[in-house]
Chains A and B, each alone.
Chain A
Amino acid sequence: EAQVTQNPRYLITVTGKKLTVTCSQNMNHEYMSWYRQDPGLGLRQIYYSMNVEVTDKGDVPEGYKVSRKEKRNFPLILESPSPNQTSLYFCASSDRENTGELFFGEGSRLTVL
């Protein structure tokens, strides 16, 4: 089954404690992206990757890092989380062909105390 898998789905952490949200896709997509969803603000892009070892900042990259060492994985790293990073995070991938449809993971709800 074609899917994008994120872990963890839910996490409560404290300010300053490094965490990583993993993302894996099994569709051999070159393009992957991270978004955060906040009430009234819709989805905002954090980082994206056009291919292995190629990553670029989105609209709200501050406080986040990513890496793309393999095609299937695109982890999101919060080196020193702060309460304003409390949000719902989505990973997505696309083959960027035809309609450019994005396939989304089920989301990771992060709370930073």
Chain B
Amino acid sequence: GEDVEQSLFLSVREGDSSVINCTYTDSSSTYLYWYKQEPGAGLQLLTYIFSNMDMKQDQRLTVLLNKKDKHLSLRIADTQTGDSAIYFCAEFLYNTDKLIFGTGTRLQVFP
């Protein structure tokens, strides 16, 4: 099946870590992505991970992939108010050549 699920909201205090979770159901995915959407703007690619990797770190961002459970997470260390946005996970399905987006998680960072 083609279904990507995320929780809708996450609220964290500035300086804490944020963890945004995503589950997907299709094992044929090759790349998995995290996109960020700031208010009034389009989506921008934040980071990605290839399906044969378990972890990818990029400055404050850590992506973890658990292929067995079909679970993807994005950890943001030292969360800042500028990180407030909607975060979408997405998977690229090699067998259908489709990119499937999750429902998006709205991250709110409070002082």
Task: Evaluate contact between A90 and B103: CB separation under 8 angstroms.
Answer: no
The total of chain B residues at the interface (CB under 8 A) is: 21
Q: Does A101 contact B (CB under 8 A)?
A: yes
Tally of A-B residue pairs with Cβ under 8 A? Answer: 47
* Chain A, interface residues (CB within 8 Å), range: 10 to 19
Q: Does A102 contact B (CB under 8 A)?
A: yes
Task: Evaluate contact between A90 and B40: CB separation under 8 angstroms.
Answer: no
Contacts of B53 in A (CB 8 A): none
Interface string of A29-54 (1 = CB under 8 A from B): 00000010000111111000000000
Contacts of A107 in B (CB 8 A): 40-42
Task: Evaluate contact between B101 and A106: CB separation under 8 angstroms.
Answer: no
Q: Is the interface of B mostly helix, strand, loop or mixed?
A: strand
Contacts of A66 in B (CB 8 A): none
Task: Evaluate contact between B101 and A42: CB separation under 8 angstroms.
Answer: yes
Contacts A/B (CB < 8 Å), 26 sampled:
A35-B101, A41-B103, A42-B4, A42-B6, A42-B101, A42-B102, A42-B103, A42-B104, A43-B88, A43-B101, A45-B98, A45-B99, A90-B42, A90-B43, A99-B31, A99-B45, A99-B48, A100-B31, A100-B92, A101-B33, A101-B45, A101-B48, A104-B44, A106-B41, A106-B42, A107-B40
Which are the 9 A-B pairs with shortest beta-carbon distances?
A: A104-B42, A42-B103, A43-B101, A104-B43, A101-B45, A42-B101, A106-B42, A42-B104, A99-B48
